[in-house]
Structure 1
Amino acid sequence: MSKKPMHGSICMTDLSNAFKAKHSAFNKSEKNGKLYANIAVWLNDEPDQYGNILSFQLNSKKDAPDEKVYFGSAKLPVEKTNEPAPTPDPTSTDELGF
């Protein structure tokens, strides 16, 4: 199976606000002192209206199920073809009659 990158975006504002609100998904490593966000990523059954097939959510602790924060989505890139664009027929007229 080929590994294709997916392209998407995450909302840094939502993540920052959730961090400031002390969302249970954020923690600081005792080993290296770095901050981490526990996330849930899933493949959607159907693409959404924008063609996204992946969704991202902060993964709350079990005792805080009400903290659902969706912060991003992703989709497969549109594959470009090397075929040239069709050339319009100069003998035909368009809708405006030109």
Structure 2
Amino acid sequence: MKAVWKVFLKHKELRISHHKDDSEWGGTGMYFLDNEGNAEYWKKQKDGKADIFRCYVKFDARNDLLDLTDLNVEKRLDQFIRLASKEPKLQYLKKASIGDKIDFFCRSL
């Protein structure tokens, strides 16, 4: 397992997922798994082609966070997408995958 900071120092960039199936999950970005077992499982699902990095994250849950495990946050995201999709040029959002909706939301902030 690689350390994120070592890879960042070497390449001068963060590793961002651009997998073809990202739109079915959380969209383009970094995916954090809650433990090494789940990370190894994910790597196996990707036929060993995914890189796994050890990362320790600390956050303050009192600050805004796009936590889609929180039903209220999910409802607000749905409301935002419904309102945005009323615009003629954004009607594609009605049928967009969840990952594409999350990407749109994040770009709109």
User: Which TM-score band applies after superposition, normalised by the shorter structure?
Assistant: under 0.3
Larger gyration radius, structure 1 or structure 2? 1
TM-score w.r.t. the length of structure 1 is: 0.24
More strand by share: 1
Q: Which has the higher contact order (CA 8 A, sep 6+)?
A: 2
